Amino acid sequence: MIRVEVALPGERSYPVVIGAGALAEAGQHAGERPFCVSELTVFEAHAGLLPPLFATQVVPSGEAAKEWETLEATLSSMAFERLDRRSVVLLFGGGAVLDVGGLAASLYMRGIRAVSCPTTLLAMVDASVGGKTAINIAGGKNLVGTFHQPVAVLADTRTLATLPDSEWRSGLGEVVKTALVDGDELLARVERDARALAQRELGSIDELIAACVRAKARVVAADPHESGPRKALNLGHTFAHALEKVAGFGAIPHGVAVACGLTLALAASERAGLLEDRTLTARVDALLRSLGLPRSLGELRMQHGALPPRELLEAMKLDKKARDAQPKFVLPRRAGALQLDVELDSTLLLELLA
Ligand SMILES: NC(=O)c1ccc[n+]([C@@H]2O[C@H](COP(=O)([O-])OP(=O)(O)OC[C@H]3O[C@@H](n4cnc5c(N)ncnc54)[C@H](O)[C@@H]3O)[C@@H](O)[C@H]2O)c1
């Protein structure tokens, strides 16, 4: 088992436990009457790994969970079960369950404790750490949410055994993003392991998850509420969120959209004259190809239809990072060095999105 500490200045820190058996620690964090938020696929396959539960709220699978209705139903269920300020919520699922369940935990009685128990690769390397919670609204992805740090993260890799290949690949998209944000060492490591990762044949995934969590924890500790350096973690995401919105939430797995967002961010960086390491574009292209991830909008369009450039542009104007309808981008200079808050003019954006 690997333990990583997320140390937050001025707030409590919390452990991230990674490995087969991590959920054995759930009991010690869960209190006497743990309330679980999960989804059917995950709960049916893996509920046996959890401690005895007081009550469970089953939400829709995947992105469909991140809706007002689910949030409301979860809050009502919390009240019905008479949860109080001592109660603990176990969030058991992928990033979608963590996002909506975490939001419910942060709102109920102005905030009760949550333990994140991620069950997808994406949620283990990214969504479970950092305390962002969210639902989607018609206006855009993750437009409604809070910051609510979990009291612990238990990434039990036994749950990954049932994860479909498509969702595994999606997780690898966030792994590549994390590596690009963190720097050359992690990127080289992902490149070295790419073939085994794509085939799901890496002896153990624990060390790579831990490396990604350490990378994210460093950024989150420096800027818990995303007023500065944490924005780096949004690399590729302004593009990705627009793609997800225009395709219809849930149609493109998040990490797949992020992978495409990374190539668009690299292209934008090159066009804006910001890209210092000219080898990076070819490196990322080769890496995404060996991981089975899309490397261009063209590839994504073959599966998901037109994704019209003007609709994508309009979606970006409503992104959370936009100011006065002017989207802001995180663009790579080189691995580990990013330019934050870049504005790109609409003509350039439409060319990139063509
Ligand atoms: N809060 C954050 O910091 C943060 C960071 C990154 C992503 N996110 C959000 O996370 C969401 C994506 O999360 P995700 O990629 O985990 O996808 P997800 O939660 O949508 O789950 C994807 C699919 O995998 C299935 N699944 C989950 N665990 C499984 C398992 N162990 N076995 C079999 N099937 C399983 C689900 O039923 C679902 O169909 C997006 O909404 C994204 O915005 C949040």
pLDDT in tens, 193-251: 999 999 998 888 999 999 999 999 999 999 999 999 999 999 999 999 999 999 999 99
Q: What was the pLDDT predicted at 276?
A: 97
pLDDT above 90 covers what percent of the chain?
A: 91
Kindly report the protein residue whose alpha carbon is nearest to atom 11 of ligand 1. Answer: 95
Q: What was the pLDDT predicted at 143?
A: 92
- Burial of residue 203 (CB within 10 Å: 0-12, 13-18, 19+) is exposed
23 to each of 48, 77, 92, 154, 163, how far by Cα in Å?
10, 24, 10, 6, 17
- Whether 11 has a pLDDT exceeding 80, the answer reads no
Kindly report the protein residue whose alpha carbon is nearest to atom 6 of ligand 1. Answer: 127
- Look up residue 248 and give its DSSP letter: -
Q: What was the pLDDT predicted at 323?
A: 79
Which amino acid belongs to residue 274? L
- Whether 325 has a pLDDT exceeding 90, the answer reads no
121 to each of 49, 83, 190, 347, how far by Cα in Å?
17, 30, 14, 36
- Whether 101 has a pLDDT exceeding 90, the answer reads yes
> Which atom from ligand 1 is nearest to the alpha carbon of 96?
19
d(CA 281, CA 11): 39
- Whether 31 has a pLDDT exceeding 90, the answer reads no
Ligand 1 pocket test, candidate residues 6, 16, 41, 200, most atoms within 8 A of CB: 41
Residue 291: name the closest of 337, 336, 258, 249 by CA.
258
- Cβ(149) – ligand 1 distance below 6 Å: no
d(CA 125, CA 37): 20
- Cβ(294) – ligand 1 distance below 6 Å: no
Q: What was the pLDDT predicted at 313?
A: 95
Domain ranges of the chain: 2-162, 165-352
DSSP per-residue letters across 195-246 = HHHHTT--S-SHHHHHHHHHHHHHHHHH-TT-SSGGGGGGTTHHHHHHHHHH
> Which atom from ligand 1 is nearest to the alpha carbon of 63?
20
Cβ–Cβ < 8 Å for 103, 148: yes
> How many angstroms does the Cα of residue 83 sit away from the middle of ligand 1?
26
> Which atom from ligand 1 is nearest to the alpha carbon of 141?
43
84 to each of 33, 58, 150, 281, 283, how far by Cα in Å?
10, 20, 17, 51, 51
Q: What is the CATH number of domain 165-352?
A: 1.20.1090.10
78 to each of 54, 87, 133, 211, how far by Cα in Å?
11, 10, 17, 35
Kindly report the protein residue whose alpha carbon is nearest to atom 15 of ligand 1. Answer: 122
Q: Which residues of 339-353 are buried (b: 16+ CB within 10 A; e: fewer)?
A: bbebebeeeebeebb
Domains 2-162 and 165-352 share a fold: no
Domain 2-162 has CATH 3.10.450.50: no
Q: What is the mean pLDDT of the chain?
A: 95
- Cβ(96) – ligand 1 distance below 6 Å: yes
State the number of CA atoms in the 13 A half-sphere of 142 facing the CB: 22
Q: What was the pLDDT predicted at 320?
A: 76
Q: What was the pLDDT predicted at 121?
A: 98
- Whether 321 has a pLDDT exceeding 80, the answer reads no
pLDDT digits (tens, 9 = 90+) for 310-320: 999 999 998 77
pTM, whole model, 2 decimals?
A: 0.96
Q: What was the pLDDT predicted at 32?
A: 85
- Whether 331 has a pLDDT exceeding 80, the answer reads yes
Q: What was the pLDDT predicted at 106?
A: 98
pLDDT band at 322; cut points 50, 70, 90: confident
| Average pLDDT, integer, range 33-47 | 97
- Whether 347 has a pLDDT exceeding 90, the answer reads yes
| Average pLDDT, integer, range 302-312 | 94
| Average pLDDT, integer, range 238-266 | 96
Q: Find the radius of gyration of the CA atoms of the chain.
A: 19
- Whether 140 has a pLDDT exceeding 90, the answer reads no
Cβ–Cβ < 8 Å for 269, 339: yes
Ligand 1 pocket test, candidate residues 91, 122, 174, 219, most atoms within 8 A of CB: 122
pLDDT band at 39; cut points 50, 70, 90: very high
Kindly report the protein residue whose alpha carbon is nearest to atom 13 of ligand 1. Answer: 95
Cβ–Cβ < 8 Å for 42, 65: no
